[in-house]
Structure 1
C-alpha cells in the first residue's frame, strides 16, 4: 500500500521530466562580452523578442563557449545565438538590419538574404542532449 501511494504521489513529477540542452558555441572570436541564446518553441514567434520561450547568456570564451539550458520539457525547439561583444544585451545591426555581431542557429546557418526559418533550425528534444552551433 505504501508503495502504491508513493507511486501516485511521484507520478506527476516523473511525467513532467525536464531536460537539459548543452550548447557548444564554436567560432567565438574573442572573450569580450557575452554569448546570448534565445530558445523558441513555435514557428509563429521565431526571432521575435517578445516570443522567446527561454533565454540565457554567459561570459564569452575565445574559441568555444558552453551554455546549459535547463528545465526544458520534451518538444521541438529552435535556438538563436549571438556574441554580444559590447555587452548591451541586444544584437547590433546596421541600417539594413544586417547583424554586426556574430550569430548562429541550431541546426542551420544564416542565408544570403536573411535568417533560416524555425523549421530549418528546429531540433527535437526527448532527453538531455548536446548540440554544436557555429557562429558566423
Structure 2
C-alpha cells in the first residue's frame, strides 16, 4: 500500500475541459515540517497512479492544499506529510509508514489501505472540499 502512495502523490496534475478545484483540508499536521502532498484518484487508478496532485509547505495543525483541474465525478483523496523532504513516504522495516498519512472521509482499512468506496467523495461543481486527518 504505502509503496504506491509516493508514486500517486508526486504525479503532476492533468488538465480537463470541465474541471473543479478540490480544497483539501489536511489536519493533524506535525510541527509544520516538510510538505503536505495530496493525490486525487478515480476508482480505476486508486492506489496505482492518480492523475491529479498538489504539494504545499506544511503548516502546523492544518494545511490547505488546492488540487485544480479535477473533472466532476467520484474521487478518493489521499495525503501524506513528507517531514524530511525526501519526496517519499518513509516506512519502517516491515512497511508501516513512519510519516503521517490519511484518506478522505477519514477512511481506514483493516489490514492495509481502505477501499475506494470508503474514501470516495463526489465532485459536482466548480469547488469541492475534502477533509483528511493525518495519522
Using the size of structure 1 for normalisation, the TM-score is 0.81
Shift of 1:63: 0.4
Name the SS for the 1:89 alignment partner.
coil
Is the contact made by 1:26 and 1:65 (CA closer than 8 Å) also made in structure 2? yes
Q: Which has the larger radius of gyration?
A: 1
How far apart are the structure 2 equivalents of 1:105 and 1:67?
A: 14
Size of the aligned set, in residue pairs, is 118
Q: Is the 8 A contact 1:34 1:83 kept in 2?
A: yes
| Stretches of structure 1 lacking an aligned partner (at least 5 in a row) | 1-15
Query: What is residue 129 of structure 2 aligned with on the other side?
Result: 130
Q: Does 1:101 align with 2:108?
A: no
1:112 and 1:41 map into 2 onto residues whose CA distance is: 21
Return 5+ residue gaps in structure 2 as ranges.
Answer: 1-16
Superposed CA deviations along residues 40-75 of structure 1, whole A, max 9, x for unmatched, are 112x43212xx1111111000000100111111111
Structure 2: distance between partners of 1:109 and 1:120: 5
| TM-score scaled by length of structure 2 | 0.81
